[in-house]
Chains A and B, each alone.
Chain A
Amino acid sequence: MRYGRGRLTMVKWLLDPYAVAGVYLLLIAFVLDRPGEAAGLSLACAIVPFQLVLMTVLNSLTSVQSRRSIVVNMRFERALIPFSSAVTEGIGFLATLTLIAVMMVAYGVELTAAVLWLPVLVATTFLVAVALAYPVALIGLWFPETRAIMLSLTRAAFFLAPGVVALDQISDDTSEWLWANPLTGLFEAFRSVFLYGESPAAGELLLPFAFAVVTLALFVPVFRREGPQFAKLVE
């Protein structure tokens, strides 16, 4: 329902990550001239998890307002609202995993046993998206004028992580700083599994996991405390 009804909207939804990958592929192959190893696959390893994060942020920014009809009419657990935003976008995320499969075929990269890490990658990415959904939903509700800024910040986070090029192509000094961004671990974990065919390093998954747990611990209680006020704010 997030994208409406009909086959065309479904096709658009599936093609979104392919379009993003195409644009960035042109950028790094022709403009920056830094294609690196299997550039398209490397990009896909960043774009696929980032799509979930970006779309969840986009959805969450208006998640309370867009559910106005039930918020002002029904008693229900308000903490489900951000979670449902992430679940909605999570369905699209699972579909966009096909981008990685297409890129692996295109670059002749073979699957290894490391692919067994896929459920852990999916779960960690989803957890990060869910965690971000709570503060973002509150910001979108409290400061609706900042929605465009929030989207820009989220897009900036892609470039403040090894999104366009892999971490090993970035200077050591810079790459150390990039670890402060939870997306770095996610992107590199996807590359470890699908590009390099090896298990992700512990930090690649633990850092985003820790970020998600801390964010949830901080913001779910705030969201629940604020829930009984939502009907006033969206009326």
Chain B
Amino acid sequence: MSASIEARGVGIQFHFDRQRRVLSPTLARVRRGGPEPWALRGVELSVEPGEGVAFVGPTGSGKTTLLRLLGGILAPDEGSLAVRGRVGALLSPQAGLLGLLTGRENAELLGVLVGMSPREARGAVGPIREASGLGDSFELPVSSYSEGMRARLGFAVAVQRHVDLLLLDEVHEAVDHEFRAVVAERVREVREGGGIVVAAGHDHAVLETMCDRAVWMESGAVARDGAFRDVVDTYVKP
């Protein structure tokens, strides 16, 4: 299956009560009182098979929120979003890992959560251990891992199955030089197979190795969308 993304006027809104606690939209209907800012508003995005798209922009501009939206972790509060293809996501160096569990146990758990059967997940543990390059640390609790080790494990789980849409949020910035090459290789495979890679971060040099298009996010909206170098040069221009 080839991947595609089609977002039309997408928005994500947060609701707060008077004490500035986040409310769900359901509760917000009866406990209004605080601000209701939009984390994303009016986002238009169309991505075709084989594309690599980088989200750039300042912290708090909506890059992670948009990635979570594409990954199905959040649902749009307005607008429409159609994402085709199997998603593999690594949206934080923490990678959804549970500290008390070992690398092996996390690999099994996350494998099931991304859709593998328990048997498949157990069978995938060996290749995940191999791909992560964690060696004996794979059998230790994840709480003893560095951020880079967690990112290695998370990435190995995320791409263990065939993915059509790979979402990466600042993950490549957490891993060492050696593992960046592994990430880059996987990114190339996904794109050549008709998949899409969307990566967000602040290390533009690394992003450019994965993406030829950039979307500059600013205050929850798309400020500019185009060829990577054009967009980034405009963004970083003093």
Interface residues, chain A, CB within 8 Å of chain B? 1, 4-5, 69-76, 141-142, 222, 225-226, 228-229, 231-233, 235
Residues of B within 8 A of A142 (CB): 23-24, 27
Residues of B within 8 A of A225 (CB): 26
CB distance from B93 to the nearest CB of A (A): 10
B101 touches A73 (CB 8 A): no
Q: Contacts A228-B74, A228-B75, A231-B73: A72 and B92 contacting too (C-beta < 8 A)?
A: yes
B96 touches A70 (CB 8 A): yes
A74 touches B101 (CB 8 A): no
Q: Contacts A74-B110, A74-B114, A232-B24: A69 and B98 contacting too (C-beta < 8 A)?
A: yes
Residues of B within 8 A of A233 (CB): 22-24
Residues of A within 8 A of B95 (CB): 69, 73
Expressed in whole angstroms, the Cα–Cα distance for A228 and B81 within the complex equals 14
A4 touches B14 (CB 8 A): no
CB distance from B165 to the nearest CB of A (A): 11
Supply 13 A–B pairs (Cβ within 8 Å), ascending by A: A1-B98, A69-B92, A69-B94, A69-B96, A72-B91, A74-B71, A74-B73, A74-B89, A75-B71, A75-B89, A226-B26, A228-B75, A233-B22
Q: Contacts A75-B87, A76-B114: A235 and B22 contacting too (C-beta < 8 A)?
A: yes
Secondary structure call for the A interface: helix
B127, CB-defined interface residue at 8 Å: no
B113, CB-defined interface residue at 8 Å: yes
Q: Contacts A142-B27, A232-B14, A232-B24: A73 and B72 contacting too (C-beta < 8 A)?
A: no
CB distance from B170 to the nearest CB of A (A): 12
Q: A72-B92, A75-B71, A226-B26 are in contact. List 14 more A-B contacts (CB 8 A).
A: A4-B100, A69-B95, A69-B97, A69-B98, A70-B96, A72-B73, A75-B89, A142-B27, A222-B26, A226-B24, A228-B74, A229-B24, A231-B73, A232-B22
Residues of A within 8 A of B58 (CB): none
Which of B90, B95, B98, B113 has the largest count of A CB atoms less than 10 A from its CB?
B113
Residues of A within 8 A of B14 (CB): 232
B63-86 interface bits toward A, Cβ cutoff 8 Å, 1 = contact, 0 = none: 000001001111100000000000
Expressed in whole angstroms, the Cα–Cα distance for A232 and B28 within the complex equals 13
Residues of A within 8 A of B114 (CB): 74, 76
Of the residues B12, B72, B101, B113, contact of A1 by C-beta under 8 Å:
B101
A75 touches B101 (CB 8 A): no
B93-119 interface bits toward A, Cβ cutoff 8 Å, 1 = contact, 0 = none: 011111011000000001001100000
Residues of B within 8 A of A229 (CB): 24-26, 74-75
A73 touches B94 (CB 8 A): yes
Residues of A within 8 A of B110 (CB): 70, 74
Expressed in whole angstroms, the Cα–Cα distance for A230 and B92 within the complex equals 17
CB distance from B33 to the nearest CB of A (A): 15
CB distance from B116 to the nearest CB of A (A): 12
Residues of A within 8 A of B72 (CB): 75
Expressed in whole angstroms, the Cα–Cα distance for A72 and B114 within the complex equals 14
Residues of B within 8 A of A235 (CB): 22
The residue on B at minimum CB distance from A1 is B100
Residues of A within 8 A of B27 (CB): 142
CB distance from A215 to the nearest CB of B (A): 18
Expressed in whole angstroms, the Cα–Cα distance for A142 and B71 within the complex equals 24
Expressed in whole angstroms, the Cα–Cα distance for A222 and B97 within the complex equals 27
Residues of A within 8 A of B24 (CB): 141-142, 226, 229, 232-233
Expressed in whole angstroms, the Cα–Cα distance for A235 and B24 within the complex equals 12
A5 touches B100 (CB 8 A): yes
A-B CB proximity, top 7 nearest: A228-B75, A75-B72, A73-B96, A70-B96, A76-B113, A229-B24, A74-B96
Expressed in whole angstroms, the Cα–Cα distance for A232 and B15 within the complex equals 9
Expressed in whole angstroms, the Cα–Cα distance for A74 and B90 within the complex equals 8
B74 touches A232 (CB 8 A): yes
Expressed in whole angstroms, the Cα–Cα distance for A4 and B141 within the complex equals 11
CB distance from B225 to the nearest CB of A (A): 25
Residues of A within 8 A of B26 (CB): 222, 225-226, 229
